[in-house]
Amino acid sequence: MTTPAFDTARPYRLSPSVALRPEPFGALAYHFGNRRLSFLKAPELLGLVQRLDGRTSVRDVLAGVPERRREAFRRALASLAAADMIVPTEAEPQP
């Protein structure tokens, strides 16, 4: 079974099975379903994950990140998606 590609045009949100524990270095993310523990190694990454609301695309959330750091954070979010820490959602239709 292959993992779908991480699409920054899609909205994502924190999985309901994941708990975040903020730490001085960033945060710990624990998935209660698959029992994975992930380290978010920057407070800015924690902020990005917290801004994933299931309605806004990842691209839009990353727009607030300085361009020189954007690719590193995109890779970190892709890694969290591959571990089911963040999950894609369907965009809500615009009225």
Per residue of the chain (95 residues), what is the pLDDT tens digit? 445 689 999 999 999 999 999 999 999 999 999 999 999 999 999 999 999 999 999 999 999 899 999 999 999 999 999 999 999 997 554 44
Give me the domain span that covers residue 50: 21-87
Q: Is residue 6 part of a domain?
A: no
Q: Is residue 78 part of a domain?
A: yes
How confident is the model at residue 55, as a pLDDT? Answer: 94
Q: Is residue 59 part of a domain?
A: yes
- Print the SS3 string covering 18-83: EEEEEECCEEEEEECCCCCEEEECCHHHHHHHHHCEEEEEHHHHHCCCCHHHHHHHHHHHHHHHHC
Q: Is residue 48 part of a domain?
A: yes
Q: Total structural domains in the chain? A: 1
How confident is the model at residue 1, as a pLDDT? Answer: 45
Q: Is residue 28 part of a domain?
A: yes
